[in-house]
Structure 1
Amino acid sequence: MSAVHRANAWEISDSENDESDDIKASSSSSCVILVQNTSINEPNTSSASARADDGGISADGVQISGRRRRRRREEVLEELETRTAAKERRREEKDKLKQKKLQEQLRRKEAAERLNLLKPENFIKSLTAHIHAVLLQDAGCDVLLRNLDGLQWRNRIENQGLPNSIRWTQQALQTEDEDKNVIEEDQVLMVISHNELEDMVMSHKTVTNQSALIGDMYEGAESLLDHLYKYLTRTAGKVVTILVMISHQQRSGSWDEDDLDLHLSQHHLDTEELLVHLQLYWNVAVHFLFGWQEVTDHVIALTKALSKRPYKALCGDPDLGFCMDGSWSAGVRVDRDGHGLAQVWTRQIQQLNRVSPAMAKAVTSAYPSPSLLLKAYEELPSEEERRRLLADLTVVGGAKERRVGPDLTVVGGAKERRVGPELAGRVHRLLTSQNPHLLLD
């Protein structure tokens, strides 16, 4: 028991010693740890202070970080403003491009509509024929009115202007008010009978015999010739054409040939003098027609010609009329790089009478351009040598085919010949002559 007790006591004492030792060790270790922690915390405080300098923990650090934040905010705002301005510029450019495309489409549409209105079948609907009321006194005028109504062309009866006249006006394009923007055509027809022509001849003869100036009028004269002179003096730029109607009785031959020759011989000189005077001094042409039907045909033909004039003027704008697309126009297309000029030069030689394509090709092959041919002409000393410069050029004709059987064709050789002095002389005159009225043949 004592041993056991002594053992237990030893164990307890031993444990107590261990516990005391452990306590001491723990106390000593805790002290060391505290010392180490204090030694470790010293550099942490320095790093924390450094972070405070950078991160803004200290007072000075807060001011620095605020400046950086404000600078970054200004940069962001400036970048946003730059992006907004660039986006606005792109939007404006896009809107301008869109507006330009819309204007181009509108311009093309208006041009297409205007071109469609200028076509003869549409433009003739805007023409109005103004017929003087004096012409209605002749019963034959009904033929003219019926034909105009049958064609559904606009016509109007008026009692002003040149007596016995027919004139035309056109409605300005794309206008709604028909009473405004009316354009008057320059063509005027004056329809008279044969007896009225004789009165005009007598009036002109009377003025001439009294030593008056050609084209002078008397104040109290009321003849058609005087009305014509006044009208031409008052309205400049008008082209008047006189249509003289010969009655069916005169056409059927109610006069025998001797009486007709005598009648014509008596008035021939006076009538011819009046016609020459009208043509030279007033640019007035005179046509002799038989009856109202021929007058109606003349009016219809002139109306159609007036309807075609704007479209022809529009299509005749290109600088080079021979540079047209399509083989039907017999023209040659010339590109911007000059391709096609050699063919144009060949066509110009081929336009001469009795000049085949082979002969024109022979000339243009020797001298590929007109300037080279002119230079060759200048280098020759005499005129005779210049005229015969092209005479000895060789012309190679096309191959000839000869059929000798149902399935056999023999092709003959090309025939060679010279250009000759006749064509050489015509080409020389074409390029060197200064007379525009010179006949090349």
Structure 2
Amino acid sequence: MDNMDVIELSSDSNDSVPSVNTSSSKPPALHILDDDYNFPEVPFASELPAAKKYTDSDSGAIFKSNSDIETELFKKYIGEKSRSKETVNASSKNDKELTRIEKYRKAEEAARIRAEKAAAAARLKSMQPGECMNYMQVILDLGFMNFNFFDTLITELQQYELVYKLKSQIISNSVTWTRSEEKNSEHVTGGIKSVEDNHIIVVWDYTETVKKVASDTFVTSIDNIQTSMPGKVTTLIVYGMENYFRHHRNLKKMQVKNLCLGSFRDGKKRRGSKAFEDLPVISRKQLELCLIEVQLTLNCNSQLIESPHGLGQVIGQYTKAIAEAPFKIHKKQMLQSQLDFYAAGDNKDTVKVDKDGNGLKRLWQQQLCQFNLARLETAEAIISKYPTPSHLMDAYAHCTLSEGMKLLQDIPIRRTAGPITNVRRIGPELSKKLYLMFTSEDGNILLGND
């Protein structure tokens, strides 16, 4: 192969066949100058660098790095899951705490409501007529100890079973009242507090009364009392004036008698006359004018009392009236809130009906007696045929207008028992009124002129 035949080609201008040189020589190196044909050199396999061989340690490092990545990812997942769990636990704890606080608040609210209801029930019980006197206390001024009837007055108050207390007050010789009530506020429930009533009684004996009437300071003194005790309902009690007037009346009679007999002896003086003689002389008319003036101008009631028994009775009556006042006011408000109108005399001619129905017949009889032409025997005659209002209403339901108006007119009425008893009928007038009363739907219709 080394002695290869080399063929030389040459180009001439003529078209002759070129000569072929068949000499044996090495071919010349190719020199290609065109840059478009410059290809990169490709090394042979022998010239390639040796391939990097990985050992077990290197492969372990590779696997270790992958494990680290997985560990980091796992830790990150576990961390996020832990944080999520902690958040859920914190939220659950907050919910439990809020639930516990809400339960505690509801328990406190329920306890407060129960306490308020218990206080209201106790307060309502304390207003009952049978219980209210136990919560009242009478306050007497220390000036009563200077009266000669003080011991008798205390005895009278004890007989009325009144709780009293001696205490110095702004107005001398005055009587006031306090009431024990349950405390009930936003922060405090229970306990007892003392509430002063707005009524006051001022007691003047005959000495003070006569001096004020004679000096024309009677009305001014009452005005000063009301000014110093604003909001108080004042009642004036004048004690012992009748003895004063009796003394001057007897003295005047004695003077007339001595004048007629021609004797000017003063006569035997009675016990206690010295105290009356040292006082100015006033007439009963002057005193009555002063009492009327304070009543009209100052709205001050007055009363003349002549004995310790009478004074103790007045104090006892005032105490009872003041104690029962809240219950009566509460009852009136309840009636006004439930009904558009109510009978003012609700405790007059009333009929008690128990849970067993006892008293219903008496109530039906009382209802019939409200008509002008109906008396007890008339009501009994109607009840003998129609024992209840429903029986009468059923009878009216099966009647025409004319029949209903005449339904009761022929019922006989017996006034007394016996063979010669007069019998009369109910009559058409009362029968018509009863029919209109129980069947009319017009509330403004008039039953009659009677």
Normalising by the smaller structure, the TM-score range is 0.3 to 0.5
Using the size of structure 1 for normalisation, the TM-score is 0.47
| Larger Rg belongs to | 2
Using the size of structure 2 for normalisation, the TM-score is 0.46
Bigger helix fraction? 1
Structure number with higher relative contact order (C-alpha < 8 Å, ≥ 6 residues apart): 2
